Amino acid sequence: MDAALIILIIVVVTALAFDFTNGFHDTGNAMASSIATGALPPKAAVALSAALNLVGAFLSIEVAKTVGGGIVDLGQAQGDQLMLIVFAGLVGGIIWNLLTWLLGLPSSSSHALFGGLIGAALVWGLVAGVNGVMWAGIIAKVIIPAVLSPVIAALVSAIATRLVFRITAKVPDETAGKRFRWGQIGSASLLSLAHGTNDAQKTMGVIFLALIAHGELTKDSDMPFWVKLTCALAIALGTYLGGWRIIRTLGKGIVEISSRQGIAADTTSAAIILTSSHLGLPLSTTHVATGSILGTGLGRKGAQVRWGVAGRMAVAWLITLPAAGMVGALCWELGNLIGGLPGVLVIFAILVGLSTWMWLHSKKQPVTSGNVNDEWDGAGLPGAGADRTSSTDASTASSSSSSARTSENA
C-alpha cells in the first residue's frame, strides 16, 4: 500500500468523523423543540431523527455538487495539494464542532467545514502564488445565505406562531394537546429528513474532492454509491447518540417553547431547508432552526426571549468561518512543513488528542437524555448553578414543569 492511498484512507475516515460530529452537533436543530415540549421522549426523538437523516441523505446530491466544485478551484489545486487542503479543512471543521458542542453553542457545522477548507486553500494559494478559493461562489452560496437565512426564518416563524395561536384560540387545551403533539412529531420528522438532504451532502462533496485529488474520479464523475452510504450512516449514527448539550440550549435556553410554537418553528425550518437543498445551497440548518425558534418567542405574546443566550450564539456564528479557517490554515502549514504521509499523521494525532481532551472535559458537567430538560439557569449546563438542587430534585421538577406546560399549551 503506497503513501498516497494511506493518505486517501485517512482523509476519508476524517471526513466521516466530521459527518459524525455534524450528526450529534445538529440533532437539536430537528428535535430540540419536540423534546422540550414533551412531544417525544429524548431517546425516541434522536432515534427517529437518525432514521430520517439516513433516508434524507439519499434524496439529493445538489449540495454535494456545490461543495465538491464551488469552494476550492479545481483548476488550480490538484493531487497531493488538493488532498492536504481537504484534510486540513476537515480538521478545522471537526475541532470547531467539538469546541462549540462542549460549550453548548449551536453553531454551524456547515460553516465550520467551509471555514476550514477556505483557510487551507487560502494559505496554499498564497504559497503557490495562485487564487485557490472561488470567492464568487462562496459569497453567493455561503455568506449571503448565512446572513439572510436566520432573519427570514425568524420572521416566517413569528408570523406562523401568531397565526397558530390565533386559529386555535378557542380550541380546548386537551384537544389541542393531542393534535399538536402529533403535528409537532410530524413537523420535526420533516425537519430531520430535510437535514439529511442538506448536511450529509457536504461530507459527500468533501470525499468527492479527495477522490478527485487521488485520481479516482474527475469533476464530472457521478457520486459513488459507497460515498452516499457511508456518509448517510455516519450522520445517522452521530444523530442517534444525541448532542444533548446543543439540544438543551435550543430547547431551553432561547425561549420556553409550547407545542404550538414547536410546530410553527419546525415547519418553517423544514420548508426553508428543503428549498435550499433543491437549489443546491449548502444552508446552515443551525442558523435556520435557531432563527425559527427565536421567531416563536417573537410571535407569541408574553414569551420571554433570552437575548443574552441568543447574543452568545450570534457571536459564535460570526467567528465560525474565521476560527475554523485559522485552524485549517495552521494544519495545512504544518502538513506542508513536514510533508507527505508523516505530516498527515502528525495532524491526525493532534486531532485525536484534542478530541479526546474535549470529550473527557465534557464529563465534568454531563448533559444526557436524563437532564436535558432541567430548568434553565444562567450557566445553562445542569449542575452549573451555585444554588442548584440535587439532580434528582431537578429532574422531578423538570418533569412536573414539562407535564404542566404540555397540558396548558400543547
Mean pLDDT by 10 residues, the chain (410 residues): 89 94 80 84 90 83 62 67 90 93 86 90 84 79 84 93 87 70 84 78 85 84 89 89 84 82 86 78 80 90 83 88 94 93 95 95 89 76 47 38 40
Amino acid 90: pLDDT: 94
Amino acid 401: pLDDT: 40
Amino acid 400: pLDDT: 39
Number of domains in the chain: 1
Mean pLDDT, the chain, whole residue set: 82
Separation of alpha carbons 15 and 231, rounded Å: 9
The secondary structure of residue 395, as a DSSP letter, is H
Amino acid 234: pLDDT: 92
Backbone angles phi, psi at 255, to 5 degrees: -160, 145
Amino acid 229: pLDDT: 92
Structural domain of residue 397, as residue ranges? 3-409
Residue 86 and residue 113 in contact, taking contact as beta carbons nearer than 8 Å: no
Give whole-number Cα distances, 257 to 41, 168, 296, 329, in Å.
Answer: 15, 16, 8, 40
Separation of alpha carbons 279 and 138, rounded Å: 15
Q: pTM, whole model, 2 decimals? A: 0.82
Amino acid 77: pLDDT: 60
